[in-house]
């Protein structure tokens, strides 16, 4: 089945779904929620046009459906439609800003558009006004978003200030049990300027992995398989040990292992950008080809372009282009260092 047929098939499924005799109090609203969730699933599987159509269908039923707003915005994020995403989220903000679960996350998405455009002050203004006040009563999702937001901006060489990190550090402090690897990686980001806390966090994960009473726990296994390397990689970036960071992080991204830690593609993009940052900062000629491949992949994945990637391309050129081209290891030899998989795994492989 080609993508067009799949799209048609998805629409047929929606038409069928509309005919299902729902027994809830308000079947039409319930159908809207189902469509909103379906739209997000379509988006994460890269059926962008269908996802947007289904999400907008859900919003016709209930314009205050925050999950459907979120799904439609995810399409704009993935396609690089930053200005449209800003217009969409700001024009609908009164519909979703009171959502207890997702309002902070949608404000985070709004910030992502501004970060892509290089408008860090705008992102920080939204962080201060809309996200930080929600941290006191926050779900951990809000803390995760706050952490990755500040981290993204600092990777671009822009200091956000200790006063913005501190509330996140405080709010994360009760989370000493290793419940979910995805969250732990974001706690590590808050330790960006706190090497001892970063070392303690890694040790805490080692202790957790070594527990005999939870050997079958999925999170423990993920932490062992992926987590420790990922945490050490982030720690190396924080401590400016960039060559080590690349050696730790690159195989995880090359083998698409990070899909196993959860989160959306937009959330996990922080790890792509972190690796790009490490490769640029390392100024190691062995990484040049890999770096440009990563930049090219990120650029081509955004249908309407990525100003963020364009900035990193400029930084990469500044870091590498003055070097003697003859000193670079040819691409064919690089594969001996970082052999890419022969066949790419499907995106949703687990």
In this complex, which beta carbon is closest to Fe ion, that of residue 30 or of residue 264? 264
Residues 299-334 as b/e (b if ≥16 CB within 10 A, e otherwise) read bebbeeebebbeebbebbeebbeeeeeeebeeeeeb
Q: How far apart are CA 221 and CA 326, in angstroms?
A: 44
User: Of 86 and 281, which has the nearer Cβ to Fe ion?
Assistant: 86
Q: How far is the CB of 211 from Fe ion (least distance, A)?
A: 32
In whole angstroms, the minimum distance from the beta carbon of 264 to Fe ion comes to 5
Cα-Cα end-to-end distance for the chain: 23
Question: Residue 141 or residue 226: which is nearer to Fe ion going by CB?
Answer: 141
Rounded to a whole number of angstroms, the minimum distance from the CB of residue 74 to Fe ion is 6
- Give the nearer residue to Fe ion in terms of CB position, either 229 or 264: 264
Helix, strand, or coil (residue 219): helix
Supply the minimum distance, in Å, between the C-beta of residue 76 and Fe ion: 11
Residues making contact with Fe ion (CB under 5 A): 264
DSSP state of 132: G
How many whole angstroms separate alpha carbon 23 and alpha carbon 25? 7
H or E segment to which residue 189 belongs: helix 181-190
Shortest Å distance, C-beta 97 to Fe ion: 16
**Helix pair 265-282, 288-301: axis angle to 10 deg:** 150
Q: Which is nearer to Fe ion, 254 or 268 (CB)?
A: 268
Look at residues 179, 127, 180 and name the one whose alpha carbon lies nearest to residue 158.
Answer: 127
Q: How many CB atoms lie within 10 A of CB 287?
A: 27
Nearest approach in angstroms of CB 29 to Fe ion is 22
Q: Which residue in the shown chain puts its C-beta closest to Fe ion?
A: 264
Tell me which residue of 178, 186, 185, 176 sits closest to 214, measured CA to CA.
178
We find the least distance from the C-beta atom of residue 140 to Fe ion, in angstroms, to be 15
């Amino acid at each position: 089945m080609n993508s067009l047929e799949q799209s048609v098939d998805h629409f047929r499924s929606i038409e069928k779904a509309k005919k299902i005799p729902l027994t809830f109090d308000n079947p039409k609203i319930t159908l809207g929620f189902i469509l909103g969730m379906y739209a997000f699933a379509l988006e994460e599987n890269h059926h962008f046009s269908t996802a947007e159509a289904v999400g907008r269908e859900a919003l016709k039923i209930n314009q205050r459906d925050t999950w459907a707003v979120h799904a439609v915005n995810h399409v704009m994020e993935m396609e690089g439609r930053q200005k449209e995403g800003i217009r969409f989220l700001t024009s609908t903000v009164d519909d979703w800003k009171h959502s207890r679960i997702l309002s902070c996350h949608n404000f985070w998405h709004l910030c992502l558009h501004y970060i892509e455009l290089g408008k860090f002050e705008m992102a920080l203004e939204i962080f201060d006004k809309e996200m930080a006040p929600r941290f006191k009563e926050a779900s951990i999702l809000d803390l995760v978003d706050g952490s990755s937001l500040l981290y993204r901006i600092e990777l671009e060489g822009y200091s956000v200030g200790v006063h913005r990190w501190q509330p996140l550090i405080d709010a994360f402090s009760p989370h000493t049990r290793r419940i979910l690897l995805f969250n732990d990686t974001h706690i590590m980001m808050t330790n960006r300027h706190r090497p001892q806390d970063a070392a303690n966090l890694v040790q805490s994960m080692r202790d957790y992995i070594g527990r005999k009473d939870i050997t079958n726990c999925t999170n423990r296994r993920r932490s062992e398989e992926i987590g420790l390397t990922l945490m050490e990689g982030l720690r190396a970036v924080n401590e400016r040990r960039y060559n080590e960071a690349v050696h730790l992080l690159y195989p995880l991204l090359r083998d698409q292992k990070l899909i196993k830690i959860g989160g959306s593609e937009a959330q996990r993009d922080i790890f792509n950008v972190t690796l790009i940052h490490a490769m640029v900062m390392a100024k190691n000629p062995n990484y040049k080809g890999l770096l440009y491949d990563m930049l090219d992949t990120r650029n081509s994945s955004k249908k309407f372009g990525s100003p963020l990637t364009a900035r990193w391309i400029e930084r990469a050129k500044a870091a590498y282009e003055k070097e003697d081209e003859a000193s670079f290891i040819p691409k064919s030899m690089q594969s001996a260092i970082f052999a890419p998989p022969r066949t790419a795994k499907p995106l949703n492989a687990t």
